[in-house]
Structure 1
Amino acid sequence: MTRRGRAAGYAGLVALALGAADALAAETIRYVALVDGGKQAGHQTVTRGDDGVTRVEFIFKDNGRGPELKEEYVLAEDGTYRRYRVQGTSTFGAKVDERFERKGTKAEWKTTADAGAVDVAGTALYTPLGGAPAAFSVALGALGRRPDGKLPLIPSGALTARKVAQAQVHCGGKPREVHLMAMTGIGLTPTFAWATADASPRLFAYIYPGFLQLIEDGCQADANALETRQKQAEGEVLADLARRLGHRLAGATLIRNARVFDSEHARLGPASDVLVRDGRIVSVAPAGQGGAADQVVEAGGRVLLPGLFDMHGHVGRWDGGLNLASGVTTVRDMGNDNATLQQMLKEIEAGTLMSPDVVPAGFIEGESPFSARNGFVVKTLDEAKKAVDWYAEHGYPQIKIYNSFPKDLLKDTVAYAHAKGLRVSGHVPAFLRAQDAVDAGFDELQHVNQLMLNFFVDDKTDTRTLARFYLVADRTADLDLDGKPVQDFIASLAGKQVAIDPTLATFEFLHQRDGEMSPIVAAVADHLPPDVQRQRKAAEMNIPDDATAARYDRSFAKLVEFVGRAYRAGVPLVAGTDELPGFTLQRELELYVQAGLTPAQVLQVATWNGAKYSRTLDERGSIAPGKRADLVLIDGDPTADISDIRKVALVIKGDTAYYPSEIHEALGIEPFVAPVKVGAAR
């Protein structure tokens, strides 16, 4: 789950999860936030005063960014908020200023993104747009007072929680029991938190496996054991989900009368019959000549695409549903906790995790106060080579260099990776320009902001700070795309065939204002749960006035135009997201059409190019005999209107069929089209 990587994704997850504060006795409890197996990256302090006011300070910094929040609240007798206030800044520097108050049956709130008032009878918990993970305590405490186990929410919805595991911890000198609670009713997937086992439960630890451990101070030694137990418990839930939503294909399946997209040549072919068996494409024949099969899909002239590629994910175990329902059958993971990713790869292979296949990119970062704590963090060339060796031995086709990687080691590390047969991509290390990375031998560059910073930085600009976003938002508006610096850079990319992974849709946060629906979900917002819609109206950048907003709008338009110009100049393009799974890729493809590509060219980028630059073209990326049966049936024609890419009626991944409508219903999303189901042959 990632919004602009794990740090941003964490802030969004907390807000979607609950986003508020903590119910405690008259005392102070301190939590520490740990990353990378124990490195402290922040804290949360919760103090209940004699005046009945609980005060929370939450600071989390990872990868040079993160929220800083201060909350105050007073609880009613039923454990819900009577009064609530949070102020501070979000992960990317947006102002957070939110208040809520309930008087009798009247509940009112105001945030930077919305305001409202409702009449409420009885117990109901307000869910703020932004806040600290201490929110879990309020929710758990209020739920504990509900005999039916269901907590109504303000503005809408209801929260439930169930215990899925328990464990003993030993901090403080004596054993304590804690419970892992799975909370549902907010967001698209369950949220897990460890709660105390007493009569008034509160948050003990919040763990995002592979990324973050937020735990009571003094209990750090128990964090890894709790994470292991949580992974096991989540795995059991996920395995059940995979069994319910995946439909195994036994024997041969004939997809009859489908218009097959020729991804190699970017054109829609005639009606055909596609026969698959044992997860492979057996034949592609003219319609009516597909032969006998055990089961049939009546495509009815719909468009059949190769499975889509998301070339920039940071995969989590809960991402699979959104990806598969959108036709994404392969994700290239661009940086993850190595142990967590290895576990996921094994679960995918075993069929116990509903997920696209994952092509891993090995993450290598340099040691600094700004370091992202994924993969390997290195200081020396020897350490960098050992990291490359590990990834090569584990079958990774490429490595990804990150922001703090030592610039003096860059060229030798790239050469060593190439000698091992690995591609090299990444961010541009601090104090370098994108052209320097190209000259050092990069095969690919991630993110449109990393490309555009080429024109705005010098060897003293530290791009590990929020400057890497604000410089681009502020200065691209005045960049002359016809000027020599831009044209020379594009020519260099094209001449050396350096691919770009622009993640344009992700960077629409650069110009989204408070109260505006995120463009990523604007076209589908009415299909999403109300709490998700509300969360997606919150801005992430500090945009103080209309003039700044207009400037940032012009800058984003230039980013889109740059990608189109680069593509037409012969720069290889791949489609990635680094944001909300599934829906973000659909928006990314729309932006490529906006950049001047034809819909058919865009589909080629999302299929053929994905396979080519992930080095899986022998197995995927086109509909041809011998290749994997990764197939997407569209109830529309995305070669004419790219927005039809949202009308996914059936997905086949290997030997398993998925009906997007079933997945969406399980996630609380209103389906987009009726499913086309696999039926018995007649």
Structure 2
Amino acid sequence: MDEHHRRAQWRLPGVRRSNKRRLNLLNKRLAVLPLALAAAFSAHAATTTTKYLIISENANKQIGQQIVERHDDGLTKVIFGYKDNGRGPDLEEQFRVGADGTMTEYAVKGNSTFGAVVNEQFSRKGDQATWKSTSEQGAKTVSGAAAYLPLNSSFEVASVAISAVAKTPDGKLPLLPSGTLSQRVLDSVEVTSATGQKQTVNLLAQTGIGLSPSFYWATAGAQPRLFGVIMPGFGNVLEEGWQSAAPVLGQRQKAAEQQMLTDAAAKLQHPLDGLTVVRNARIFDSEKATVGQPSDIYVLRGRITSIQPAGSPTRNADNVIDAAGRIVLPGLFDLHGHVDRWSGALNMSTGVTSVRDMGNDNKQLQAMLDETAAGKLLAPQVVPAGFLEGESPYSANLGYVIKDLQQAKDAIDWYAQRGYPQLKIYNSFPKAILKDTIAYAHSRGMRVSGHIPAGLRAQEALDAGYDEIQHINQVLLNFLVKPDTETRNLNRFVLPAEKVADLDFNSKPVKDFVALLAKKQISIDPTMATFAFLKQRDGDMNEPYAALAANMPPDVARGFKVGTMKIDGDAQLKRYEKSYAKMVEFVGLMYKAGVPIVAGTDDIAGFTLHSELAMLVKAGLTPAQALQVATRNGARYTRTSNDRGSIAAGKLADIVLVDGDPTKNIEDVRKVSAVITRGYLIYPQEIDAALGIAPFVSDAPQVSKGTAPAKVSYGGGNEGARARVEASARKHD
């Protein structure tokens, strides 16, 4: 829903970016159906035609469609159309399937959401499979059934996979270029169409692609095909005439999904009952940005009760965890997330124990908060920001979409009554009521942040009362736009990519603006790691993900090389690279001037937070200062400093044990060996194993019973800990 539409709750078939840019991934395979193209399409002779409608849940309106034509000669053609938040791709595809149900030929052409060219082909002749796209090409000798995974495709590719897996005896199907797709039936229900037809459809869960399951409703029988996709909080894709089935399908899917999540939470969250002592921990002081001498941390009922020098006597402790000289961080904050039910595991495995949700479906978010509090959902502690948008053809249909000041006040009341400490204003918000809306939010005790509404500069949003700005592009557009510049389309990406390269940071307007930010203490949420896509050429590794690509499942790593922007030639690439480098430089400039910086992602949960900290170091912060931004500043700008942001007696026991020393090498923040939060002990290695991720550490501290003191080590940990750190460092160099 944000700059990359990260809030969609499902990874969609055929797009290899998994949890990264979830709704952007939806957009990469969808586009508005051009009328001329549709007319030409219908002119072809076809055996059958199936039409799917894409309906927005919040706005309850059609926002796209998919038309599938299956021709007499075995050729299938698809046009997939979708539009959200003022943009969408344009894709056409065609394919053939073999006797085993997998594709033997496949081709897709068009443009991605942000204008990048899509041109991908696959062919299998006998045992030889070959593929080529704008970002990769490859070949492989295979025997037996194997399904190719396009980087960009329609839902019809998922339909083919559903049928092909159903033909296998064990519900598993090899994938190309690599991996295995698994599928199982979770539920069955009879549905009725608008004309009174009835049929039974099955809820399928597919795993093996990306970092979370995919859920599809499929027709029953020996040759099932896609019936629909239900995406809670976003919308649904259903065969035309069957839209009335969406509510019952949504209810049944939620129940089945919740059972999977509850089972995962029970397996991966280890309760720390009674008194727990974390011995020999070198605590990161987030106020001073320094590491202290080894200490013992006492935890009871989810809170820190005491901190003592390492080796102090302990009586009747129920659990003992030997940190073995590891550095222990306060739980990390991601101040720009769009949480869903499956992203929690990624946050937990990376030490992100608190996430500020910057816009979501209100009903879904409230349900997730309840599920987390009940221990049924593996998730961070969420600080919600209320999403507020204005009506327009570009509207992002989440939270509240309003027309006038009274509706804005009503929305603010709803958020304030439910404890939302912050309001987020989006692109189409009516500028005429901006100042009064902010004043009302302030009167309800809420901070106000957001994108800069179309027709305004950041300076004017500050004058209206903004407390924070999201995204570095929204900050720098202040110097690039005129009153009539449309910033709700791709201009908000293209203009910074084209023009920041020439922006003089020593000019008076820039200096005055930075001084104003510092004077007013306007916090900036730059999401630099996310915006690296501005200078990524298709086929090149996206910079923030280079450090973790080798640990990711192959299909996820594959997606890190898929470009987003349309970049024509080396000259434009160099210009975009220069602009992005200056964006990073500007963040450092603001920090040195005293402007508060916070660490947010708006991208793959957890892992992108580590990349954002690396970008802060690139901007000129020390590693310790970057960690301070993700801990102390995280708590400060979510108003949770009384409970979080530092390791101190009386605060919540949000504790992250890491190998190495991230205060000296920020990349060591990826080496999380254990996490304590909400009274649970969580091992990233267990989550990584469940998700097909290669672990970032070689071992982890275990829980023992009793009160025997652990060996105290000073200045970097005992020999065993040092050996683990060195081995891990060698592995990930």
TM range (shorter): over 0.9
Displacement of 1:53: 1.2
Gap change, CA 1:616 and 1:411, over 3 Å in 2: same
Displacement of 1:228: 2.3
In the other structure, the counterpart of 1:595 is 619
The answer to whether 1:265 aligns with 2:288 is yes
- Which of residues 432, 438, 452 is equivalent to 1:408? 432
The answer to whether 1:93 aligns with 2:115 is yes
CA contact (8 A) 1:575 1:589 kept: yes
Gap change, CA 1:178 and 1:3, over 3 Å in 2: farther
- Which of residues 141, 144, 159 is equivalent to 1:119? 141
Displacement of 1:9: 8.0
Gap change, CA 1:651 and 1:7, over 3 Å in 2: closer
The answer to whether 1:566 aligns with 2:583 is no
The answer to whether 1:232 aligns with 2:272 is no
CA contact (8 A) 1:306 1:632 kept: yes
- Which of residues 125, 129, 132 is equivalent to 1:107? 129
Aligned equivalents of 2:582, 2:691: Cα separation in 1: 36
CA contact (8 A) 1:85 1:98 kept: yes
In the other structure, the counterpart of 2:5 is 5
The answer to whether 1:452 aligns with 2:473 is no
In the other structure, the counterpart of 2:240 is 217
After superposition, where does 1:151-190 map in structure 2 within 5 Å? 151-171=173-193, 172-190=195-213
Displacement of 1:679: 1.8
Cα shift readout 1:330-353 (whole Å, capped 9, x = no counterpart): 000000000000000000000000
In the other structure, the counterpart of 1:70 is 92
In the other structure, the counterpart of 1:242 is 265
Displacement of 1:14: 5.1
Aligned equivalents of 2:56, 2:506: Cα separation in 1: 44
After superposition, where does 1:368-447 map in structure 2 within 5 Å? 368-447=392-471
Aligned equivalents of 1:7, 1:244: Cα separation in 2: 26
Cα shift readout 1:28-50 (whole Å, capped 9, x = no counterpart): 11111111332211111111122
Cα shift readout 1:575-595 (whole Å, capped 9, x = no counterpart): 000000111000000010111
Gap change, CA 1:575 and 1:536, over 3 Å in 2: same
- Which of residues 42, 49, 53 is equivalent to 1:28? 49
CA contact (8 A) 2:7 2:360 kept: no
Cα shift readout 1:611-667 (whole Å, capped 9, x = no counterpart): 010011111111011100000011111111111000101100021000011110110
Aligned equivalents of 2:244, 2:409: Cα separation in 1: 31
* Secondary structure, counterpart of 2:382 in structure 1: strand
In the other structure, the counterpart of 1:550 is 574
In the other structure, the counterpart of 1:308 is 332
TM-score scaled by length of structure 2: 0.91
In the other structure, the counterpart of 1:675 is 700
CA contact (8 A) 2:9 2:231 kept: no
Larger CA deviation: 169-178 vs 457-466: 169-178
Aligned equivalents of 2:173, 2:324: Cα separation in 1: 45
The answer to whether 1:533 aligns with 2:533 is no
Aligned equivalents of 1:508, 1:8: Cα separation in 2: 21
Q: 2:485 is matched by which residue type in structure 1? A: T
Larger CA deviation: 196-205 vs 564-573: 196-205
Gap change, CA 1:70 and 1:413, over 3 Å in 2: same
Q: 2:411 is matched by which residue type in structure 1? A: A
Gap change, CA 1:13 and 1:357, over 3 Å in 2: farther
Aligned equivalents of 1:466, 1:9: Cα separation in 2: 23
Aligned equivalents of 1:334, 1:322: Cα separation in 2: 18
* Secondary structure, counterpart of 1:15 in structure 2: coil
Aligned equivalents of 2:251, 2:633: Cα separation in 1: 37
Q: 1:548 is matched by which residue type in structure 2? A: Q
- Which of residues 341, 357, 361 is equivalent to 1:337? 361
Q: 2:262 is matched by which residue type in structure 1? A: A
Aligned equivalents of 1:626, 1:219: Cα separation in 2: 55
Displacement of 1:290: 5.9
Q: 1:134 is matched by which residue type in structure 2? A: E
- Which of residues 68, 78, 81 is equivalent to 1:56? 78
* Secondary structure, counterpart of 1:173 in structure 2: coil
In the other structure, the counterpart of 1:500 is 524
How well do the aligned residues superpose, as a CA RMSD in angstroms? 1.8
Gap change, CA 1:3 and 1:434, over 3 Å in 2: closer
Displacement of 1:493: 0.8
Aligned equivalents of 2:608, 2:559: Cα separation in 1: 16
Aligned equivalents of 1:5, 1:272: Cα separation in 2: 43
Displacement of 1:12: 6.7
TM-score scaled by length of structure 1: 0.97
In the other structure, the counterpart of 1:254 is 277
Gap change, CA 1:290 and 1:354, over 3 Å in 2: farther
* Secondary structure, counterpart of 1:83 in structure 2: strand
Q: 2:255 is matched by which residue type in structure 1? A: Q
- Which of residues 57, 60, 79 is equivalent to 2:101? 79
Aligned equivalents of 1:461, 1:228: Cα separation in 2: 43
Aligned equivalents of 1:52, 1:417: Cα separation in 2: 59
Displacement of 1:561: 0.4
- Which of residues 346, 353, 357 is equivalent to 1:322? 346
CA contact (8 A) 1:255 1:299 kept: yes
Displacement of 1:8: 8.0
Displacement of 1:5: 2.3
Displacement of 1:168: 2.2
Aligned equivalents of 1:338, 1:492: Cα separation in 2: 34
In the other structure, the counterpart of 1:630 is 654
Cα shift readout 1:462-481 (whole Å, capped 9, x = no counterpart): 10001110111111111111
Aligned equivalents of 1:616, 1:405: Cα separation in 2: 28
* Secondary structure, counterpart of 1:123 in structure 2: coil
Aligned equivalents of 1:137, 1:178: Cα separation in 2: 13
Gap change, CA 1:534 and 1:119, over 3 Å in 2: same
CA contact (8 A) 2:7 2:339 kept: no
Cα shift readout 1:241-285 (whole Å, capped 9, x = no counterpart): 000011000111111111111111211111111111110000111
Counting matched residue pairs gives: 680
Cα shift readout 1:286-316 (whole Å, capped 9, x = no counterpart): 1112633211111111101100000000000
Aligned equivalents of 2:57, 2:528: Cα separation in 1: 29
Structure 2 portions without partners, runs of 5+: 19-24, 31-45, 709-733
Q: 1:678 is matched by which residue type in structure 2? A: V
Aligned equivalents of 1:83, 1:204: Cα separation in 2: 23
Q: 2:50 is matched by which residue type in structure 1? A: I
The answer to whether 1:193 aligns with 2:216 is yes
Gap change, CA 1:486 and 1:83, over 3 Å in 2: same
Q: 2:705 is matched by which residue type in structure 1? A: A
Gap change, CA 1:343 and 1:646, over 3 Å in 2: same
Aligned equivalents of 1:534, 1:338: Cα separation in 2: 33
* Secondary structure, counterpart of 2:544 in structure 1: coil
CA contact (8 A) 1:8 1:66 kept: no
In the other structure, the counterpart of 1:129 is 151
* Secondary structure, counterpart of 2:87 in structure 1: coil
Aligned equivalents of 1:120, 1:76: Cα separation in 2: 14
CA contact (8 A) 1:284 1:290 kept: no
* Secondary structure, counterpart of 1:240 in structure 2: helix
Larger CA deviation: 560-569 vs 174-183: 174-183
In the other structure, the counterpart of 2:724 is none
Larger CA deviation: 294-303 vs 166-175: 166-175
CA contact (8 A) 1:510 1:552 kept: yes
After superposition, where does 1:344-383 map in structure 2 within 5 Å? 344-383=368-407
CA contact (8 A) 1:11 1:91 kept: no
